[in-house]
Structure 1
Amino acid sequence: MTDVLLVLTDEMLHADLARCSAAAGYTMVTGDPTSCRHEWLRATAVAVDADALADLAESHPPRRPGVVVISGAANDSRGWQAGLALGAQGGFVLPDEETSLVGALSEFRAPVRKPAGAVAIIGGHGGAGASSLAAAVALAAADRGERILLLDADQAGAGDDLILGVENHRGLRWSDVTGETGVIAGTALRAALPRVGRISVMTSDRDDVTPLRPDTVLAVVDAARSAGDLVVADVGRNPDPVSAGLLDTADFAVIVTTASVHAVAATRRTAARLIGEREAVLVVRGPSAGGLRACDVADAVGLPLLGGYRPEPALAARCEGSGLRLRRRGPLTVAAHDVCRRLRAEAVR
C-alpha cells in the first residue's frame, strides 16, 4: 500500500507540502480537521498547522505517531504548543525546512505495530439480529484465543450484557467513563469491565438513557485497540456522531438483515444513511417467505454478500437462561466465523 501524508493545513502551505510529500515517497491527501478521523487513523503521517490543531482539540483524536506541525512563520508558538499536547513528533517552518521535513517523513515510513482490528455491526432494520451476531462474533473470536471488547453503542437495544448473561456482573458502564480524561489505558479498562472468558463488555446501565458522548466512545475504542483487544461494536441505526465515529474507526461494517421485501427497503435506507463510501458487507438471515435468496437481497440492497444463515432454534431461550453460547455447527456460529475470517483478511492487507 502507498504511504499517505494527510495534510490538515492552510492551502498556502499545500504546494510546499506537495514537494516534501513527493520527495519522501508519499501520496498527499488533504482533509478536513473537523471530520478526518478515518484518514487520521490510516495515514502514515499527518501534517497539521495551528488552525487545524485547534479544530482537532475539539474532536479528541487518539494519539498516534507520525504527526508534524507545519508553519509558514517561525514565531508561530501557538502551533508548537498545541502540537506538543497532541503528541507531535516535530515542527517545521516551510519552505525553509523542507529538507528536514522530508527526512522526518522518511523515518515515519518504518514499520509500526498495527492496532487490533475493529468491526461495526448494524441492524438493517429493527429485529434483524445485529446484537446476537455481534455477541456471536465476540465469542467466535475469543474461541481463537483473542481478547475482545464487545462495545454496545446501540442505546435502542436491550443490552449486549443480557445476551451474554453478564448483566449482573460488577464493572464499569458507559456512565462511569468520560472521554474528558483524555487517553484511557487499555489494560486498566479491560480489568474494570464486566467479562465472560476473554470478552469484556462495555454497555449502559439498565435504565440509563443519557446519550453517549462520541469522545467517550472513541476513547474506549482506541484504548482497547492499542492494548491489542479486537473491538466488536454493536452500532445503532441513527446517523449520529457516535455511529459515524465507530464506522470511521472500523476496518469494515457488517449490516444484518432478513430476507423480505420490507427488510430490503429498510436496509437500503439504513445503508444510505450510515455507510456512504465506507466499506461494508451484508449478512442475510433467512428463510424468506417470498422465496428471496440471500444473493437477491444483497443485489437489491447494493452491498456485497458476506453470507447468510437460518434462525437458530431456541436461541432466545438459551440467551435468557445462561447467556449466548455458540453451538459448534449452528447457523449463527457459521455466520460469526464468516465475519471473523473477513477480520483476519483485513489484518493482513
Structure 2
Amino acid sequence: MTDQLLVLVGPDLADDVARCAAAAGYRMLRADPDHCRREWPRADAVVADVSATRVLAELGPPRRAGVVVVTDHEPAEDIWRCAMRLGADRALTLPSEESILVGLLTDLRAPQANPAGAVAVVGGHGGAGATTLAAAVALVAAEDSARVLLFDVDEFGAGIDLTLGIEDRAGLRWQDLTLEGGAVRARSLHSALPQVNDRLSVLAPRRESRLPISVDAVIATMDAGRVNGDTVVVDLPRTAGVVSDAVLDSVDLVVLVTSAGVHGVAASRTVAAWLDERGIAAMSAVRGPAPSGLRAAEVATAVGLPLLTAYRSDPGLPGRMESGRLRVPSRSPLGRAARAVYRKVAVGERLVA
C-alpha cells in the first residue's frame, strides 16, 4: 500500500509539496487542520505550513513522529514552539529546500507500527442493541489486540461497565478526568481505568454524577489510545453534540445497529442521514429476525447504509446478563457479528464516506 502523506498547506505551497510527495512515493491526503484528528495518527508523515502549525498547536493533538513544517519565507520564532509541541524538529523553505524534504519523506518510509483502528457503535433507535454490540466488539478485539480501550460516552445510559459486570471495580470515570486541551499517555490511562482483563480497559460515566462528559477528555483519551496503537471502541449515543462530534471526527468507522422491523428501520434512517451529513464512513449491523420477512440486505438498503453484518437476537442473553457479565462465544450470532466489525477496523483499510 502506498504511504500516506497528510498535507496541511495552503494553495501557495500545494504544488511544491505535491512534487515532493510524488518524488518520495507518497499518496497525498488533504485535510483541514481544524478537522484532521482522524487522519493525524494514521498518516505515515505530515507536512504542515505555518498557518496549519499554529492551528494544530492550539488544538493540541498528541506529539508524533514524521511531522515537517514548510514555509515560503523565514518562519517567526513562535513557530518553533508550535512545531515542537507537535513533534516536528525541522522547518523547510520551499521551493529552495525541496530536495531536503524529499529526502526526509523518503527516510520516514521505514516500516513503523501503525495505529490500530477506532470504531463507534450507535443505535438507530432505542433498544437496538448498540451497547451490547460495542461491548462484544471490545471483548473480541481484546482476544487479538495488545490493548483495547472501550469508551461509553452516553452520560444518560446505564453504563457499559454494567453490561460487562465491572461497575464496582475501582478506577476513573469520565467525570474524574479534567483535561482542558491537555494530553494523556495511554499506558497511564490503562492503569487508571477499570479493567475487564489485562488487555481491555473501560471508561464510562459515573452514574450518580450529573456533571457532563468533558469533550477535552474525550479528545485526549481517544488520541492517546490511537497513537499508542490501541484498538478503540466507542458506545456512541444517537444524539448530536460536541462529544459526539469529537468521536465522529476521530473514528475510522461508525456501525449503526438496527433491528429489522419497520419502526426500527424508520428511526435508523434518521440517524443514517445525520451521519451522512457529517461525511462519516458508516455501515449497518442488522439484528433480526425480521417480522416482515425482509432480508438483512433489504433492511440495510432501506436504512441507506451498506450492510456490514447481520445476526439473530439471542433470547437467552438478557437473562444471562442479569446474573453475570456479558460473555461472547465465538460461534454465537453476537460473536460472529462482533468479529465482523472488528475485522473491518483491524485491517486498517481506508474507509471513505
CA contact (8 A) 1:237 1:274 kept: no
The residue type paired with residue 78 of structure 1 is: D
Q: Quick one: structure 1 residues 193 and 100, their matched pair in 2 at CA, closer, same or farther if it must change by over 3 Å?
A: same
On the 8 A contact 2:35/2:249 being kept in 1, the answer is no
* Distance in 1, Cα, partners of 2:178 & 2:252: 24
Q: Bigger shift: 75-84 or 155-164?
A: 75-84
- Deviation, 1:31, is 2.4
Give the 3 Å change call, closer, same or farther, for CA 329–91 of structure 1 in structure 2: same
1:316 maps onto 2:292 in alignment: no
SS class of match (2:152): strand
Q: 2:257 touches 2:286 (CA, 8 Å); kept in 1?
A: yes
Letter in 2 for 1:218: I
Partner of 1:160: 160
Q: Which residue in 1 is equivalent to 2:225?
A: 224
Change (3 A) 1:185 1:330: same
Equivalent position of 1:188 in the other structure: 188
Contact 2:41 2:227 in 1 (8 A): no
**Pair 1:303–1:99, CA change in 2 (3 A):** same
Deviation at residue 324 of structure 1 after TM alignment: 1.3
CA RMSD of aligned residues (A): 2.4
Cross-structure match for 2:297: 295
Report the Cα offset of residue 309 of structure 1: 1.8
Aligned to 1:114: 114
Percent of pairs with identical residues: 50
Q: SS state of the match for residue 38, structure 2?
A: helix
- Give the whole-Å Cα distance in 2 for the aligned partners of 1:19 and 1:340: 37
Matched, 1:249 2:245: no
CA distance in 1, matches of 2:5, 2:116: 22
Which of 303, 306, 309 aligns to 1:307? It is: 309
Deviations 1:123-182 (A, max 9, x none): 111211000111112222334474322111122321101101111111011122233373
Deviation per residue, 1:279-325 (Å, 9 max, x gap): 32211111222222211101112222122222222322322322212
Is the counterpart of residue 20 in structure 1 residue 20 in structure 2?
yes
Q: 1:48-89: per-residue Cα shift (whole Å, max 9, x none)?
A: 223222222332222222111112222522222211122113
User: Which letter maps to 1:16?
Assistant: D
Counterpart of 1:209 in structure 2 is 210
Inter-partner Cα distance in structure 2 for 1:223 and 1:75: 29
User: Which residue matches 2:49?
Assistant: 49
Does the 8 Å contact 2:260/2:294 carry over to 1?
yes
* Mean CA deviation greater in 102-111 or 33-42: 33-42
Tell whether the 8 Å contact from 2:181 to 2:216 is kept in structure 1 after alignment.
no
- 2:180 alignment partner, SS class: helix
Confirm or deny: 8 A CA contact 2:38 2:252 kept in the other structure: no
Change in 2 beyond 3 A, CA 1:109/1:135: same
Q: Deviations over 1:83-103 (max 9, x none)?
A: 112211311122222221221
Does 1:325 pair with 2:316?
Answer: no
Q: What SS does structure 2 have at the residue aligned with 1:39?
A: coil
Q: CA deviation at 1:348?
A: 11
Distance 2:318 2:127 in 1: 12
**2: CA distance, partners of 1:106 / 1:145:** 30
SS at match of 1:34: helix
Q: Does the CA-based 8 Å contact 1:152-1:202 persist in structure 2?
A: yes
CA distance in 2, matches of 1:143, 1:32: 36
Instruction: For 2:159, give the aligned amino acid.
Output: G
Which 10-residue stretch deviates more, 128-137 or 139-148?
139-148
Between 314-323 and 109-118, report the one with greater CA deviation.
314-323
Distance 2:19 2:227 in 1: 33
Contact 1:60 1:215 in 2 (8 A): no
Give, in angstroms, the shift of residue 228 of structure 1. Answer: 4.1
CA contact (8 A) 2:123 2:256 kept: yes
What is the aligned partner in structure 1 of residue 343 from structure 2? Answer: 341
Closer, same or farther in 2 for the Cα pair 1:285/1:54, shift >3 Å?
same
Distance change in 2, residues 1:133/1:7 (3 Å): same
Which residue does 2:234 correspond to in 1? 233
- What is the TM-score when the length of structure 1 is the normalising length? 0.91
- After superposition, residues 265-304 of structure 1 pair within 5 angstroms as 265-275=266-276, 276-304=278-306
Q: Kindly indicate whether the alpha-carbon contact (under 8 Å) linking 2:116 and 2:348 is maintained by their aligned counterparts in 1.
A: no
The code of the aligned residue for 1:193 comes to: L
Question: Unpaired runs of 5+ in structure 2?
Answer: none
The separation in 1 between residues aligned to 2:350 and 2:50, in whole angstroms, is 35
Partner of 2:97: 97
Deviations 1:32-52 (A, max 9, x none): 211122332333222222322
1:28 shift after superposition: 3.4
